[in-house]
Amino acid sequence: MRPMQGKSVIVTGASAGIGEALAVALAARGANVTLAARDARALERVQARCEAAGGKALAVPTDVGDPEACRLLVERAVAAFGGVDVLVNNAGVTMHARFEDVKDLGLFERLMRINYLGAVHCTFHALPYLKARKGLLVAISSLTGKTGVPTRTGYAASKHAMQGFFDSLRIELLGSGTDVLVVSPGFVATDIRAHALGAEGQPLGKSPRDEEGATMDLDTCVALILRGMERRQREVVMTLAGRVGQVLKLVAPGLLDRLAARAIRGKQA
């Protein structure tokens, strides 16, 4: 294990959900956390939580869909904390709509720009600093990045791209001392799906599925991420269903498709 005490950690998507909870947990372990998200007021609240937990925190309002903003984010972290030890690419947005119902394919461009290209740009600018400190890249992906999910076509595409990028980069970085961890949560008790984009690209404002008994609690999710970071694991697949799904995709892909379709039909809100 490599403790987080004194480490410089950038967390994108830090204004709520997994990003906020992970940032506070890292601060409690003594990390110097740079918080990135679009909502400046929410970042101030998370910064106060991090400092109350015992860490140092810097709030940098950032739209990861803007390449220049990604560059400036890394520069601010380096200026404040002397370098970058860990980059957590967590910023993301999801969707809920059948592909044939989508009104504007700009929705797909937005998903790719935030979920995938935002991670690419942040990684590009942070990588020299990470290599200098033999640091860690963390990609918060999704089980949707491993298998197709109906009504999530654009989201699944962005997460598949993210998975492929970081799996490939991990190989390029072999021998450098810089590791890559891809995290694949299932449904976690956050409000990300309440902000899911619908067929017309608008936030739905409520979860598009019945989540009763279906979600992992946020504390458990963060604990699994932290354990993966401290152990420098290559991957964390959080649920038994996700791990079984990986096997089914190889040996019985048709069955996996039918199970995914049935699960979505049975959980429509």
Residue 162: pLDDT over 60: yes
pLDDT the model gives residue 151 = 84
Q: Convert the pLDDT of each residue in 72-116 to its tens digit.
A: 999 999 999 999 999 999 999 888 888 899 898 999 999 999 999
Which of the residues are catalytic? 155
pLDDT the model gives residue 27 = 98
- At residue 139 the predicted structure's pLDDT band, cuts being 50, 70 and 90, is very high
Residue 36: pLDDT over 60: yes
Listed by start position, the domains of the chain span: 8-239
Q: Convert the pLDDT of each residue in 14-31 to its tens digit.
A: 999 999 999 999 999 999
Torsion of CA 149, 151, 154, 156, to 10 degrees: -10
CATH code of the domain made up of 8-239: 3.40.50.720
